[in-house]
Structure 1
Amino acid sequence: MSEMVTPAASSPARVTKDLVHKQHADQVLLSGLERLGEDEFLVAADWTDTSGVVATGHSRQDDAVLITETIRQTFPLLAHAGYDIPFGHRLLWEEYRYALNLPALREGGTGGRPELHVRCHDVVRRRGRVSGLSLDITVLRDGEQLATAHTRFHIQPPAIYQRLRGPYGDAHRMLELARSRPLPPPVSGASEEFRDAVLSPTDARDRWLLRIDTHHPMYFDHPGDHAPGILLLEAAKQAARTIRHPRAGVAEAMETIFHRYVELDSPCRVDAQLLPDDQLGRARLLVTAHQDDNLCFTALVSVAKAPVG
């Protein structure tokens, strides 16, 4: 399970950082919102300058982190501006899956101003307020499909969240605990820049420790009391790439479930298991994250071959 904090909102003329739960404006990837129907929306994004989100040397073969963060920012935007969820409520990520259109991304890159067509369904309401929501999302640029995604999250009022989380709900306390522990080294030879490596090696080639850098500009743009979901998605992607080295490829599709929070005060183990290729001939891996013997996260990753040259 992963959660996104909320700091009540009307439909915005523009997307402010608060509406996407960011503390710094250069982290905002969305620029506009239009309601097409009761539960349908058109969200405008802006990828003309993404240096605040992805590293300058961002690999051309992997755009999943940018697309996923763009999609993730639609959750709080629609919760507040689409469904009048007050700031302070918590958005808890339950499941997420995506599929990339790699030929379109390789040809056009990840610049420009894409649009996200969002259809919301399976809306659950309690006491007149939305408490659960599924989203089907298509990412288009100039009419060409770049990616599709599905996700579901549910929403908790702050009093319920604090009661359930107890002392773990104190973000500043949890960050202090995390920063009192030495940050483990990254996997040797990883293609990510040092700041973006989220795995640390162990004695086993298919097992790592989750490397949680609480100073990372995207994952911890604002104080959080646990490892954010997008960091776990990145860990699954990096695990898939690392275990297949040197036959590295692109995480073209992923199906994930967030079972419980990954806390900041104890180690989290990440394991990868090779599976038979899928029906499209892509390599498949099952990546899991465990903490204190509890399953926290699972990801089924489909890896396409990297382009030659």
Structure 2
Amino acid sequence: MRQSIEGSLVHKSSPNQVLLLSADASQDGTLRLIVGLSPQHPSAGSLPSASTLVGVELMRQCAIAFAHLSGGVPRGWAFIMNQLSFAWLEGAMPTASEQFAGHVDVRLRAVKMRRDQVSDLQLEADFMAGGVILGSGCGDLSCLPPRAYQAIRRNAPTEAIASTGPLGAVLADIRRSDGELEAQLVWNRGDTFIFDHPSDHVSGMLLASALLQSHHLLAGSQAGDFSMQCHNFGEFNAPVTVSAVAHGAGRTVVTMTQSGRIIASGQCGKPVGAPDAGPAVERFHRVLTPAG
């Protein structure tokens, strides 16, 4: 049975930022999500330069929707994105908001249970339109009840979040030399895409934006293939250093550190020539029980 999707399901406050319109579960466990990009979305006017960032956000929303609708994770629980990836197929990147239409098929690849409740999920997804795959991605997320999340974040800074850069900027103090880049992560509270809802930590989408921008500065081209791991919570009260290195085949490897700890790492590259048909287990950095 098809059901509509509202912002609270995918942890968005603004209806214009919800990329999922409805959901329909099939008997084989696949969750089909109908996709649309509102012309009022903060990134709609920045396509195609923002297409990969919107694709990553699409994967984030799909993972959370699957957890709630197919994984039985209660509303009000928190999610930690351990890994998130997305890649456009060559020539498929949307250049206008109306091209960001179709559906995403989300499949469970591995799961971890705790006390008869889902605690971790690994998912794969294909974004399709007209029977053709436009892009593919995967996500690894942990699902936490409110008390568990509050315990983890009990020592989180409580001061108000102050803007550290102008609107539209995510990197400052940029230094480039011989295929390497180092910069400071910055943010602006007026960025409605990043600060759509309250958060006690640096959001994964802000880190994703910095990763993509680092690639653009080093490679001189827009990334169509994105992958990121989140290792530790990033805080708003200390500097975050972004270090990027250009590798072969037009790829960029990025590490983000704060107070001596790696908070995120990842890489970007060109759009891929074909969907990744390799074993699902090789796409994830954590080992969970494969789905039956």
TM over 0.5: yes
Q: How much is the aligned-residue C-alpha RMSD, in angstroms?
A: 2.3
How far is the alpha carbon of 1:83 from its aligned partner?
2.1
Query: Residue 135 of structure 1 is aligned with which of 96, 119, 123?
Result: 123
State the distance in 1 between where 2:94 and 2:144 align.
39
Paired residue for 2:246? 274
Q: Deviations over 1:189-235 (max 9, x none)?
A: xxxxxx33211124555111111223321111010011111111111
- Pairs within 5 Å for 1:1-309: 13-37=3-27, 39-47=29-37, 49-56=38-45, 58-105=46-93, 111=99, 113-168=101-156, 173-174=158-159, 176=160, 178-179=161-162, 183-185=164-166, 195-204=167-176, 206-244=181-219, 248-277=220-249, 283-303=250-270
Report the CA distance shift for 1:106/1:225 in structure 2 as closer, same or farther (over 3 A): closer
Partner of 1:6: none
Paired residues of 1:13 and 1:32 also in contact (CA < 8 A): yes
**Shift of the alpha carbon at 1:116?**
0.2
Alignment CA distance shift 1:259-1:53 (3 Å):
same
Question: Contact 1:39–1:120 at 8 Å: present in 2 too?
Answer: yes
Paired residue secondary structure (2:9): helix
Kindly provide the amino acid, as one letter, of the partner of residue 34 in structure 1.
Answer: D
Measured after TM superposition, the shift of residue 96 of structure 1 is 1.6
1:126-169 deviations in Å (ceiling 9; x for gaps): 1111101011100001112110101110111111111121131x
Q: What is the CA–CA distance in structure 2 between the aligned matches of 1:294 and 1:256, rounded to whole Å?
A: 16
Contact 1:31 1:44 in 2 (8 A): yes
| SS of residue paired to 1:53 | coil
Which consecutive residues of structure 2, in runs of 5 or more, have no partner in the other structure? 272-292
> What do residues 32-79 of structure 1 show as CA deviations (whole Å, max 9, x unaligned)?
1111135311111112x24323052x1425510111112211122222
Percent of aligned positions that are identical? 22
Aligned length: 269
Confirm or deny: 8 A CA contact 1:200 1:211 kept in the other structure.
yes
User: Is 2:52–2:87's contact at 8 Å kept on the other side of the alignment?
Assistant: no
TM-score (normalised: structure 2): 0.85
Deviations 1:73-100 (A, max 9, x none): 1122222222221222111101122221
SS at match of 2:60: helix
C-alpha spacing 1:288/1:210, structure 2 compared with 1 (3 Å): same
